[in-house]
Structure 1
Amino acid sequence: MVLWHGVMHVQIVRGDHVSLSLVGLALASEGESEGFHAPSPEEFYWPIFGSGDWTFTRPMLMMALSVLILGVLLVTLTKKAAIVPGKGQWMVEQAYDFVRNGIARDIIGSKDFLKYTPLLFSLFTLILLNNLFGIIPPIQYPTMSRIGFPIALTLIVYAVYHIAGMRRKGVGHYLSGMIPKGLPKPIYALIIPLEYATYFIIRPLTLALRLFGNMFAGHMLLLLFIMGGEYMLLHGGPGLKVVSVGSFLMALIFTAFEALIQFLQAYIFTLLAATYISDAISEEH
């Protein structure tokens, strides 16, 4: 797993914040006086060159690398498309069919789904590859654990579904369609702010934070098991050396579990993007 110069300190979680400092104290009592320190969120920055707002970081390099990999892979595997596909072409077609028919057509509908399929396919493959970077040696760093990338993708989806809705219905009808009809008039004072907050704030906020939170927390848990196991094995007493085997085993189990989470988060992000687009252009909206 990725090492960060031995500097490790964190308060992280899937759900609520859980202090891991007790783990460090327990390990320290058995090992060196310096003890074990969990990785800190600040170390996700990983600058390569530059400084301040113009720093080029490792996650930025990985995002650029993922775009290059996907571009080369898709062009190479499809430029000589055949009626009877080879293995590479078949894999690309299966992924495209999954997004086209399993997400776009089912959610948006057969009338309008085609124009949004390229966006949804791009989102799914880009997020999935960057998520999988978290368990692929020697990278082992999920790009989406940096909040800026989920926010950027969310802003694209945000702009697409609002613009699509306004172009389809007109600005006035689109905005008024967000409010349920037939409610008692006094309730509208409460409902209108809530509905607009849902469409313009809560949806994009949860879309970005869901992806970021799962990738960030999952990566930190993997690091905790791996680095904790390494520390116990190299610096702990006989008892901790034995326990380190369990820590490495848990890291292996969580790696398989994390692969599932990484796929699900790419799927959920794409599914919600399609849902928001469908909701924006739907006549019932």
Structure 2
Amino acid sequence: MIGQSTVLAAEFPPSVEDFYLPSILPWGAHDSYWFTKITLLVWVAVALIIIYFLVSYRKPQLVPTKKQWLAESLYGFVRNNISVEMIGPRGVAFAPYLTTLFCFILVMNFFSIVPLIQISPNSHIAFPAILAVISYVMFIYVGIRHHGSFFKYMKSALIPPAPWFILPLLIPIEFFSNFLVRPFSLAVRLFANMFAGHMLLLVFTLGGFAMISANVWFAPFSIVSWIMTIALTFLEFLVICLQAYVFTVLTASYVQGALADEH
């Protein structure tokens, strides 16, 4: 039986501690997480998105270049298939935010399968939580602005068309569903998928090295473990794209609900 061992400078089996990386500033500190690899990746994602779209549209052409075509395709996909599809004609106004949200989540998720990086900032609950709070505040603000006042918006959101005697039961359910479950589910869904994906890749990658280190006769099992790592990487790529899409679609759905004239 293989106990806990150190493989490739990492503990096997992996644990939650593998997500808490040493600090970059101050270098190597384990009691100060002011600036870590995770923080660096967030800023890299922001820089990549800004620079890419600026460069792509620096000299827009009637016949687009490959960079311009990809940028336009991303924006067009989110605008037509998410914003307008979910919200309607008014969704065009939200397309810039939703495109930024989609690209940001997609790039941060993609870090989890990039060699030598292999971790996504979204595998830390703080970052999905912040994104969920931003979307949460936005759809509440949109609802208040659309309905004219906070109380009119709350009336629209909380009071369904139902007999008066059942309203004391339905109103708390609507409040819990609309204002508590929504941001929680947005954050936890993204976090849980990226956390689980990173943990699975760690288990199969380090597990292969652990088995071959324990006994050379385990080499065939190590090879199978590494093959599973490759297969899971392709699966993780699908999850990366799906989770960025789901987060953006749900945000658009919540905005659509806030703009609805009736419950």
Q: Distance between the aligned counterparts of 2:101 and 2:161, measured in 1?
A: 37
Contact 2:156 2:261 (8 Å CA) reproduced = no
List 4+ stretches of structure 1 deviating above 4 A: 50-54
What is the deviation of 1:150? Answer: 0.3
Corresponding residue number in structure 1 for 2:102: 124
Corresponding residue number in structure 2 for 1:263: 241
Contact 2:87 2:253 (8 Å CA) reproduced = yes
Corresponding residue number in structure 1 for 2:25: 49
Instruction: Please list, as runs of the form range in 1=range in 2, the aligned pairs for 1:97-176 lying within 5 A after superposition.
Output: 97-110=76-89, 112-169=90-147, 170-176=149-155
More deviation in 227-236 or 73-82?
Answer: 227-236
Secondary structure (helix, strand or coil) at the match of 1:133 reads helix
- From 72, 75, 90, the counterpart of 1:96: 75
Gaps of 5+ in 2: none
What is the deviation of 1:220? Answer: 0.2
Gaps of 5+ in 1: 1-25
Question: TM-score, normalized by length of structure 1?
Answer: 0.84
Secondary structure (helix, strand or coil) at the match of 2:112 reads coil
Over residues 132-179 of structure 1, what are the superposed CA-to-partner deviations in whole Å (9 max), with x where a residue is unaligned?
000011211111001110011111100100000001102122101123
Question: TM-score, normalized by length of structure 2?
Answer: 0.91
Q: Distance between the aligned counterparts of 2:219 and 2:2, measured in 1?
A: 11
What is the deviation of 1:232? Answer: 1.4
Contact 1:48 1:58 (8 Å CA) reproduced = yes
Secondary structure (helix, strand or coil) at the match of 2:258 reads helix
Contact 2:12 2:210 (8 Å CA) reproduced = no
What is the deviation of 1:100? Answer: 0.7
Please tell me the residue identity of whatever aligns with 2:43.
A
How many residues are aligned here?
254
Contact 1:96 1:121 (8 Å CA) reproduced = yes
Please tell me the residue identity of whatever aligns with 1:148.
A
Corresponding residue number in structure 2 for 1:38: 13
Secondary structure (helix, strand or coil) at the match of 1:48 reads strand
Over residues 213-265 of structure 1, what are the superposed CA-to-partner deviations in whole Å (9 max), with x where a residue is unaligned?
00000100010000001111233241x11111110010000000000000000
Q: Distance between the aligned counterparts of 1:233 and 1:125, measured in 2?
A: 40
What is the deviation of 1:129? Answer: 0.4
Q: Distance between the aligned counterparts of 1:63 and 1:175, measured in 2?
A: 35
* Identical amino acids, percent of aligned pairs: 37
For the aligned residue pairs, the C-alpha RMSD in angstroms reads: 1.9
